[in-house]
Amino acid sequence: MALTGISIRTAKPKAKPYKMGDSLGLFLLVQPSGSKLWRLKYRTGGVEKKLSLGSYPETSLSGARAGRDQARKLVADGIDSAIEKKREKLRAKTEAENTFDLLAQEYIEKRKREGWSASTASKAEYFRLHLSPGIGGIPIADITPADLLAVLKKIEARGNLETARRTLQFASSVCRYAVASARLASDPTRDLRGALIAPRPKHYGAILEPKRVGDLLRAIDGYDGHMVTRVALRLAPHVFVRPWGTSPC
């Protein structure tokens, strides 16, 4: 006989656990403590198994029956409901551990072990902090291009066009790392190409004529100021200072 709301509510605990059957393998297990647990009995591969469907009243009679029907459909399709439930729990746990912020930190640590300098790692951390308030706590598999663009547009609105561009580069590096480590199916940053305002390059004064380069070198050679400054000036033409803008990603 199928269960009713009244029969479930009025069921009293006994000295030992007992079952109240519903239909199609669904039953309510009443514990001596008074708790009432939904269980489903089913067979797969010739083996009888039981599946937990929650507790009453958190899971109502209609909710338990819906869970039963879903589980039976999976079994009919050749999928073991108990194993699938464990997989779902594992997937949920994995997603919770794979937020953008945690993966970004993991990526930075990996690159540091591979040889990133302290200054390069510091720049990457700077970009991570820009992204953290907007998408840091979101599982990386759930981040959409629109989520990321909203963060980047805020940076862009402050006039920091180059920072927005390089923050996008860093986000793309983290997403590609997530793809490579099997925690993301595809890189959402690919759809943002061309979405940001391209910063205009600022050109600084430069000596382009060979004769004037010679004049500069002779002027450096003739400088008689502070010794440290003299050494730095004479070293500069040999190393050509590297600009800050080199990507850390």
Looking at the fold, whether 20 and 54 belong to one and the same domain comes out as yes
Position 93 confidence tier, pLDDT thresholds 50, 70, 90: low
Rg value, the chain, Cα: 32
Looking at the fold, whether 88 and 136 belong to one and the same domain comes out as no
Sign of CA dihedral 52, 54, 59, 61: positive
167 falls within a domain: yes
Looking at the fold, whether 87 and 107 belong to one and the same domain comes out as no
Q: How far apart are CA 187 and CA 208, in angstroms?
A: 42
53 falls within a domain: yes
CA angle 149, 246, 138 (to 5 degrees): 30
pLDDT reading at 118 higher than 70: yes
131 falls within a domain: yes
pLDDT reading at 171 higher than 80: yes
217 falls within a domain: no
> What pLDDT score does 246 carry?
47
Number of domains, the chain: 2
224 falls within a domain: no
CATH code, domain with 16: 3.30.160.390
Residue 246 CB partners (closer than 8 Å, separation 6+): none
Final residue before a domain boundary, out of 96, 113, 135: 96
> What pLDDT score does 244 carry?
46
- If one compares 31 and 97, the residue with the highest pLDDT of the two is 31
Looking at the fold, whether 108 and 69 belong to one and the same domain comes out as no
Per-residue pLDDT of 44-92, as tens digits, reads 777 888 888 999 999 999 999 999 998 888 888 777 767 777 777 766 6
Looking at the fold, whether 183 and 162 belong to one and the same domain comes out as yes
Position 102 confidence tier, pLDDT thresholds 50, 70, 90: very high
- If one compares 96 and 149, the residue with the highest pLDDT of the two is 149
227 falls within a domain: no
The residue assigned the tokens 């912020």 is: 101
Looking at the fold, whether 76 and 107 belong to one and the same domain comes out as no
Answering whether pTM is above 0.75, one says: no
The domain of 16 spans: 5-96
239 falls within a domain: no
> What pLDDT score does 193 carry?
87
CATH code, domain with 111: 1.10.150.130
